[in-house]
Amino acid sequence: MTTYRDFHARSLSDPEGFWAEQAALIEWRKPFAKVLDAAKPPFRTWFAGGETNLAHNALDRHLATRGAQDALVWISTETDETRRFTYAELHAEVNRFAAALAAQGVGRGDRVLIYMPMVPEAVFAMLATVRLGAIHSVVFGGFAAASLAARIDDARPKVMVTGDAGSRMGKRIALKPLVDESIRLSTSPPAKVIVCDRGLVPVEMTPGRDLSWAALREQHRDAKVPCTWLESSETSYILYTSGTTGKPKGVQRDTGGYAVALAASMKHIFCSKPGEAYFCTSDIGWVVGHSYIVYGPLINGSTTIMYEGVPMRPDAGIWWKIVQDWKVTSMFSSPTAIRVLKKQDPKFMRDYDVSSLKFLFLAGEPLDEPTARWVSDNLGVPIVDNYWQTESGWPILTACPGVEDTPRKFGSPSFPAYGYRVKLKHEETGREVGANEKGVLCIVPPLPPGGMTTIWGDDERYVQTYYTSFGDEMVYTTFDWATRDEDGYYFVLGRTDDVINCAGHRLGTREIEEAVQANASVAEVAVVGVIDALKGQVPIAFAVMKDASKVATPEGAAACEKEIMATVDREIGAIARPSRVCFVTVLPKTRSGKLLRRSIQAICEGRDPGDLTTIEDPAALDQIKAALK
């Protein structure tokens, strides 16, 4: 039997031989000429010269052997519906929508922006886009019009796809008005908007621009659209993620490397066999949804379960009922979701037969030991913690039970995944740290297949952002702290930069600060991420008002806080709303004017604020402490 240690070692010592074997897990229209071209670091090309297509690997290649098997099962506790699509039926729906997109002039390299709720049509749109060789950019339905407009202007989509509304806890959230406003705000609006109307809220269509999904589907009912074969390095999608500047980063993904990485991960990490049901509770607006609701399971020939709803509706047993009803063998969720369920009676787990479930995978933010132990004990299923990023596309640190079921430690995502040469580097000197010493988690290039290839439209920003943190060597920086114990197990501690990991969603403090300052009453603001027992981290804002008298009374402060939160909702979306807005008359800064965010964060968390010899006004820290009270 191959040990994981040997498996990982070979992936580093013989990357070309190793990944050539993994590449056999997908189908190629044209064989690749070279497994790895890393002549211009940190850029690299995997499977150079090979031609393939994500939609072909997710659908067409399965038709002969599993055309009648369920490919996609959509369950909504918001609308009390279940819809099932076999591989043949999903293939037909994707062809219809691909024809609809092609009729609007969408072709190879064009962008399609998808802003939709968790409905099957969102999956059709993603697969139809890549079928044509076009590039999709899925934007999470919780973002507001201004954030959506920024992504429109960066991606410059030819077509936008949206829905009438999403639904959460029975509350309808209209999307089409946000789309209309985002287009009004943008400088590079799409020529056409395709609207999927499921009758949740009234929809106002713009003549000449807006098109009905239902009408297009009927028009192209019998369409058969051939796959556009892409060279392995050609772009499959753009997915925006927060950074330390206000401008979102468009993570750019290739085609061949991504397909191979996902196929290999379904086998080696997630232990899902073709024909088995795989349930990922994420949203398609995030990278986990891209990789493990849509592409990974379908490339693997699994049945993917797509869920619209929350883990508490109709009750805290709904996810385990889905596991029972569909005989799910592998499930992927987040620590935050489990912490929500942890507040409920564990009988909701025991009420259902989850004996089909082999593993529960958890990722999104650091998984604390008590939560891991609670769900493991009550579910009776092994828990596999894994750590990764939008940028990586699949796990960086994880156990790989498909290779060897190594012992796991609660609170640790185990070891580097195959293909990753991980280093923990001292923040200042760059030296590799020793056992149990905190360091910055870095990856020695080249990144393995599936990792981001660049930032959309900005190669220089890609290099400057990710590869220049250390002068001694060029390494990819994750911007996360971690330690490694004497046994080689890694423990992720949190961010080194000004990005907040809130319930698995990355939020840039600068983005939130800019949103707060859109409120005309705010003169200055600092936003920091603070440890939270449920969400991992939450943002707290410290604001200086132009007119301090507005917040001189508790009633005035409460009114201003409410107004500022509404501004953030409007500018970014409720996902970025601070948990608190505290009011001060001065913010702590160095004499050169730099905000001391780390010191503010330390005070919020009850820690030592550190060296303050360069602070301009020490009394500012006292204001932070007073405001928190």
pLDDT at 589: 80
Question: What does the DSSP assignment read for 183-200?
Answer: HHH-SS--SEEEEE--SS
CA distance 312 to 334: 14
Identify the top-confidence range among 133-147, 337-351, 501-515. 133-147
User: pLDDT at position 523, please?
Assistant: 85
Give the pLDDT confidence of 584-609 residue by residue, as tens digits: 998 888 766 677 888 888 888 888 88
Q: Across residues 1-8, what is the average pLDDT?
A: 93
DSSP type of residue 70: E
**Integer Cα distance of 461 and 535 in angstroms:** 30
Lowest-pLDDT choice from 67-81, 291-305, 559-573, 583-597: 583-597
Give percent of the chain above pLDDT 90: 76
258: exposed, middle or buried (C-beta count within 10 Å: 0-12, 13-18, 19+)? buried
- Domain 424-432+434-495, CATH: 2.30.38.10
Nearest to 281 by CA among 293, 272, 271, 273: 293
3-state secondary structure of 20: helix
Residue 83 tokens read as 């819809």
Q: How many CA atoms lie within 13 A of 216 on its CB side?
A: 25
Average pLDDT over residues 349-374: 91
pLDDT of residue 514: 81
Average pLDDT across the chain, whole number:
93
Task: Residue 478: name the closest of 424, 546, 433 by CA.
Answer: 424
What does the pLDDT average to over 47-73?
Answer: 98
Measure the CA–CA gap between 448 and 248, rounded to whole angstroms.
Answer: 24
Q: For residue 269, give both structure tokens.
A: 């990490």
CB within 8 A of 615, min separation 6: which ones?
588, 589, 590, 591, 596, 599, 621
pLDDT at residue number 505 = 77
Q: How far apart are CA 338 and CA 375, in angstroms?
A: 7
Q: What confidence tier does 613 reach under pLDDT thresholds 50, 70, 90?
A: low
Helix (H, G, I), strand (E, B) or coil at 67: coil
Higher pLDDT, 569 or 113: 113
Close Cβ partners of 552 (under 8 Å, ≥ 6 residues apart): none
Q: Classify strands 580-584 and 536-545 as parallel, antiparallel or unpaired.
A: parallel
Identity of residue 335: P
- Residue 245: predicted pLDDT: 62
Mean of the pLDDT values across residues 479-505? 86
- pLDDT one-digit tens code per residue, 269-295: 999 999 999 999 999 999 999 999 999
Least confident segment among 327-331, 445-449, 551-555 = 551-555
Report the first-to-last Cα separation within the chain, whole angstroms.
59
List CB contacts of 473: < 8 A, sequence separation 6 or more. Answer: 430, 444
Residue 440: which residues within 8 A CB-CB, separation 6 or more?
A: 424, 425, 426, 427, 469, 477, 478, 479, 480, 481, 482, 496
pLDDT at 415 over 90: yes
Question: Is the pLDDT reported for residue 101 higher than 70?
Answer: yes
Locate 37 and state its tokens: 């071209």
Q: Which of 582, 586, 505 is closest to 538 using CA atoms?
A: 505
Amino acid at 167: S
User: Residue 435, Cα to own-chain centre: how many angstroms?
Assistant: 30
Phi/psi at 8 (5° precision) = -65, -45
Mean pLDDT of 436-465: 97
Residue 146 CA to residue 162 CA, distance in Å, equals: 16
Give tens-digit pLDDT for 509-548. Answer: 877 888 898 898 998 888 988 888 888 889 999 999 989 9
Give the per-residue pLDDT at 353: 95
Quote the tokens at residue 313. 């509706």
**Mean pLDDT, residues 197-203 taken together:** 96
Residue ranges per structural domain of the chain:
88-228, 424-432+434-495, 499-628
For residue 501, what pLDDT is reported?
Answer: 77
Closest CA to 535 of 289, 369, 343, 365: 365
Per-residue pLDDT, 591: 65
Nearest-angstrom CA–CA distance, 625 and 629? 7
Q: Is CATH 3.30.360.10 what the domain over 499-628 is classified as, yes or no?
A: no
CATH fold of the domain at 88-228: Rossmann fold (3.40.50)
User: For residue 159, which of 127, 191, 115, 200 has the smallest C-alpha distance?
Assistant: 191
Query: What distance in Å separates the CA atoms of residue 44 and residue 172, rounded to the nearest whole number?
Result: 44
Q: Considering Cα of 285, then 288, then 292, then 293, what sign does the dihedral take? A: negative
What pLDDT, on the 0 to 100 scale, is given for residue 510?
Answer: 76
Sequence-ordered list of residues with C-beta below 8 angstroms from that of 132, at least 6 positions apart, any chain:
98, 101, 102, 106, 107, 108, 110, 225, 228
The residues near 347 (Cβ < 8 Å, ≥ 6 apart) are none
40: tokens are: 């211009």
The band of 445, judged by pLDDT with boundaries at 50, 70 and 90, is very high
How large is the average pLDDT for residues 321-334?
97
Walk across the sheet containing 237-241 and list its strands: 210-212, 192-196, 159-163, 111-115, 135-138, 237-241, 249-253, 454-455
From CA 85, how far away is CA 67, in angstroms rounded? 10
Half-sphere exposure of 290 (CA within 13 A, CB side): 31
Q: How much is the pLDDT for 611?
A: 67
The fraction of the chain above a pLDDT of 70, given in percent, is 98
pLDDT at 244 over 70: no
Closest CA to 337 of 322, 316, 323, 306: 316
- Element containing residue 249 per DSSP (H, E): strand 249-253
Q: What is the pLDDT of residues 152-173, one digit of tens each?
A: 999 999 999 999 999 988 899 9
